[in-house]
């Protein structure tokens, strides 16, 4: 029987198939984690929204330090909510399947705008404030809003810097991964070449074994024929001796 071995010719295809499968599983896991992170931010946003509604509804009844402290608390919560919007935007930006998450993000952004409008309207509903007090309060509120805008710009700039740094890291990681895959491909191609050479050597050895086997059979047949001829010659010699 032949001892020849035929290695699979699609070794690289099988390797890249399993690599793609592992990558898809990893991306699916990452997608699930990012979606859970988004919904966690959204739940935190909704809890903060309820707190703002409660504080804003009671704002017209407050005066003095209580009113100022409540306004400061609302501004702080609104800043935190704006930060949550930014985090949700980051998740949506990195997420591949954006449909539902983008819709939720738009609704939360609209909720934040509505809360800001209600907050501004409620600040003008204090019945016992003089015009001077209203002017001072509006000036304070505008200053707080300006500071809030500056803080948001600073956070946005920081996010851009972080995103740029992450893009550089991802670029380096992609280059390293590409180099590793190229080296693995060369290794597999070398292994495939060695297996092919081994297969050729085994085929040649198989041919040599077959040739030796044929020669051995031929020599054995010649030996048997020679023995038969010698045996017949001996019989004839004995016959002639007896008959003579």
Domains of the chain: total = 2
Residue 208 lies in a domain: yes
**145 and 37 in a common domain:** yes
Residue 6 lies in a domain: no
Are 59 and 120 a contacting pair, CB within 8 Å?
no
**221 and 146 in a common domain:** no
pLDDT tens-place values along the chain, 244 residues long: 444 444 445 666 665 655 666 565 555 555 667 788 888 989 999 999 999 999 888 887 777 788 888 888 999 999 999 999 998 888 888 765 567 788 888 999 999 999 998 888 887 765 555 566 556 656 766 676 677 667 767 776 777 777 777 777 777 777 778 778 878 888 888 777 887 778 777 887 777 787 788 887 777 888 888 888 888 888 888 877 887 6
Range of the domain at 94: 11-191
- pLDDT value, residue 179: 78
**225 and 172 in a common domain:** no
Residue 23 lies in a domain: yes
**28 and 80 in a common domain:** yes
Going by C-alpha positions, the residue among 149, 145, 14, 163 that lies closest to residue 74 is: 145
**Residue partners of 196: CB distance under 8 A and separation at least 6:** 7
Q: Is residue 10 classed as helix, strand or coil in its secondary structure? A: coil
| CATH code where residue 155 lies | 1.20.58.400
HSE of 4 in the Cβ direction (CA atoms, 13 Å)?
A: 10
Last-in-domain residue among 191, 210, 233: 191
**236 and 172 in a common domain:** no
**62 and 158 in a common domain:** yes
Last-in-domain residue among 167, 191, 215: 191
Residue 31 lies in a domain: yes
**177 and 81 in a common domain:** yes
User: d(Cα 38, Cα 102) in Å, to the nearest integer?
Assistant: 10
Note the pTM of the prediction, 2 decimals: 0.44
Residue 3 lies in a domain: no
Residue 60 lies in a domain: yes
Last-in-domain residue among 149, 169, 191: 191
Are 28 and 91 a contacting pair, CB within 8 Å?
no
Residue 5 lies in a domain: no
User: d(Cα 100, Cα 86) in Å, to the nearest integer?
Assistant: 17
**219 and 184 in a common domain:** no
**235 and 174 in a common domain:** no
**212 and 118 in a common domain:** no
**Residue partners of 125: CB distance under 8 A and separation at least 6:** 59, 60
**220 and 113 in a common domain:** no
**213 and 182 in a common domain:** no
Are 60 and 126 a contacting pair, CB within 8 Å?
yes
Residue 197 lies in a domain: no
Rg (C-alpha) for the chain, rounded Å, is 44
């Amino acid at each position: 029987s032949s001892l020849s071995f035929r290695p699979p010719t699609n070794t690289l295809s099988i390797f890249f198939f399993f690599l793609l499968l592992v990558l898809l599983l990893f991306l699916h896991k990452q997608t699930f984690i990012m979606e859970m992170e988004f919904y966690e931010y959204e739940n935190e946003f909704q809890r903060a929204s309820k707190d703002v509604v409660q504080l804003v509804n009671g704002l017209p009844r407050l005066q003095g330090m209580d009113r100022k402290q409540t306004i400061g608390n609302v501004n702080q919560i609104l800043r935190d909510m704006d930060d949550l919007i930014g985090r949700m935007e980051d998740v949506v930006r990195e997420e591949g399947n954006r449909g539902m998450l983008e819709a939720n993000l738009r609704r939360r952004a609209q909720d934040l705008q509505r809360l800001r409008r209600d907050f501004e309207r409620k600040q003008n509903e204090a019945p016992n404030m003089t015009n001077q007090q209203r002017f001072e309060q509006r000036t304070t509120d505008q200053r707080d809003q300006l500071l809030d805008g500056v803080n948001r710009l600073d956070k946005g700039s920081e996010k851009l810097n972080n995103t740029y740094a992450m893009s550089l890291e991802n670029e380096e990681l992609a280059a390293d991964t590409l180099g590793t895959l190229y080296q693995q491909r060369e290794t597999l191609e070398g292994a495939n070449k060695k297996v092919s050479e081994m297969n050729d050597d085994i085929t040649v050895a198989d041919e040599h074994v077959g040739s030796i086997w044929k020669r051995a059979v031929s020599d054995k047949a010649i030996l048997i024929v020679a023995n038969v001829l010698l045996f017949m010659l001996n019989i004839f010699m004995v016959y002639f001796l007896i008959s003579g």
